């Protein structure tokens, strides 16, 4: 793994992310329509490194953005992620393999 300048977001960090700031009231929060994830590539020498840094974090971010906070379940996500990692393997994506 490369050493990021400001540290690294783990898969658990990404899954725990809450895109709607807790400081917002319900009336304000309804105006949050989405979010995005950035991948800064200035220190990534090739596309394989970019894939490694993005996957499966992108899977976790997708679920966080699609799912209401009260329905998220990290343990269930980890189980379902195994199926998705197999898809990435078949597609020859150079993804990070989380420890079980």
**pLDDT tens digits, one per residue of 56-79:** 999 999 999 999 889 999 999 999
Q: Look at residue 84 and tell me if it is in a domain.
A: yes
Count, in order, helices (H) and strands (E) of the chain: 5, 0
Q: Read off the pLDDT of each residue in 17-37 and give the average, rounded to a whole number.
A: 93
Q: Look at residue 47 and tell me if it is in a domain.
A: yes
Res 3: pLDDT:
65
Q: Look at residue 4 and tell me if it is in a domain.
A: no
Count of domains observed in the chain: 1
Boundaries of domain holding 74: 11-90
Q: Look at residue 59 and tell me if it is in a domain.
A: yes
Whether the pLDDT of residue 100 is over 80: the answer is no
CA–CA distances in Å: residue 6 to residues 9, 22, 85: 9, 24, 27
The mean of the pLDDT values for the chain is: 91
Q: Look at residue 72 and tell me if it is in a domain.
A: yes
Whether the pLDDT of residue 1 is over 60: the answer is no
- Total-model pTM: 0.85
Q: What is the pLDDT of residues 31-51, one digit of tens each?
A: 999 899 988 887 888 999 999
CA–CA distances in Å: residue 50 to residues 14, 22, 30, 35, 85: 17, 31, 33, 20, 16
Q: Look at residue 1 and tell me if it is in a domain.
A: no
Q: Look at residue 98 and tell me if it is in a domain.
A: no
Q: Look at residue 80 and tell me if it is in a domain.
A: yes
């Amino acid at each position: 793994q490369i050493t990021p300048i400001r540290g690294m977001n783990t898969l658990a960090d990404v899954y725990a992310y809450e895109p709607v700031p807790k400081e917002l009231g319900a009336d304000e929060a309804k105006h949050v329509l989405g979010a995005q994830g950035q991948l800064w590539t200035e220190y990534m020498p090739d596309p394989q490194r970019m894939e490694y840094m993005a996957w499966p974090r992108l899977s976790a971010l997708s679920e966080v953005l699609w799912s209401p906070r009260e329905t998220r379940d990290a343990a269930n996500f980890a189980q379902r992620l195994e199926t998705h990692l197999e898809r990435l393997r078949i597609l020859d994506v150079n993804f990070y393999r989380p420890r079980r």
